[in-house]
Amino acid sequence: MVGAKEVLLAEPRGFCAGVDRAIEIVERALAKFGAPIYVRHEIVHNTFVVNDLKAKGAIFIEELDEVPPGATLIFSAHGVSKAVQQEAERRGFAIFDATCPLVTKVHVEVAKLAKEGYEFLMIGHKGHPEVEGTMGQLSEGIHLVEDEGDVAKVAPRQTEKLAVVTQTTLSVDDAAGIKAAIKARFPLVREPKQQDICYATQNRQDAVKVLAPQVDLVIVVGSPTSSNSNRLRELADRLGTPAYMVDNALELREEWFADAARVGLTAGASAPEVLVDEVIARIRQLGAVAVRKMDGIEETIKFPLPKGLKIDAATGLEIEVRKAPETGH
């Protein structure tokens, strides 16, 4: 039995800008308006984050009739359908939208092309809230494809004006395969100018591609509901390195490390670094003596908070911010 000797940390890993912003929106709403603050769906797909916010006074709901009149409601980072948005407005809640700006970008693109008469194929996972939100931007004319097999079965009403959109947290390689199948069947299909899969998903998958061949075992810190975390575990597995996903250090099993001298560690975009630190501490108990950071991309992107939640840390006063002009793309 060798046992773990070294931990190699993927770079980048963990929180992305959209997750950071979404959590901060809930925390600032709690600070400004007091508990309870209602959140539609888990703000991000991480058990630790959700439980932490629950303890601070956030109440997570799925249906809007669970929210009392006059309450403050936050939409999760995954985005919501037009129907949910309109229903929330009709009920008169004070609404803050924590939808990731990179998801909103896809919503805007769908609305714009729909006006031009396009139908859509959406690549994504059925039942995922982001997919429900994006597909729910339209009342019709958007078709879900989950894999290459679905491409053969999908039946749009016309093929001259067909566009592809995707969930932001897919496997980059899987999505490329599905897109190729779509192009083969619908040669005129329009693809987004920039891919819809976001920078954070891409960067974390790229880092695992570098990490996995250098280690005997990959541990991904992430919750079972987290799409992007699941994709990281799958990717390591496909590259031939045994890989496990854990919600926290308590889920690590000693036998995984028996023949793993070098352990690779990464975390999904919704997993806080404190959980990574706890996993490292546990792997040290199992014999690791060194922790090394891989070279990788440093992410500096930050997204602004919505109006009405910008508070000056020094004075506690709200900062009035004039909205910057929309950049066209």
Distance CA 292, CA 24 (A): 30
Cβ–Cβ < 8 Å for 48, 278: no
State yes or no: is 130 an active-site residue.
yes
Cβ–Cβ < 8 Å for 76, 38: no
Residue 12: cis peptide before it, omega within 30 degrees of 0: yes
Distance CA 25, CA 126 (A): 27
Distance CA 232, CA 325 (A): 36
What are the residues whose beta carbons fall under 8 Å from the beta carbon of 141, sequence distance 6 or more? 114, 118, 119, 120, 156, 157
Query: What's the gap between Cα 59 and its chain centre?
Result: 20
Query: What's the gap between Cα 66 and its chain centre?
Result: 25
Q: Name 217's bridge partners.
A: 263
Q: In 3-state terms, what secondary structure has residue 307?
A: coil
Beta strand 58-61 with 37-40: parallel, antiparallel or unpaired?
Answer: parallel
Cβ–Cβ < 8 Å for 265, 214: no
> For 111, phi and psi rounded to 5 degrees?
-60, -40
Options 130, 146, 251, 320, the catalytic residue: 130
Count of helix runs (H) and strand runs (E) in the chain: 10, 12
Distance CA 326, CA 329 (A): 9
Active site residues: 130
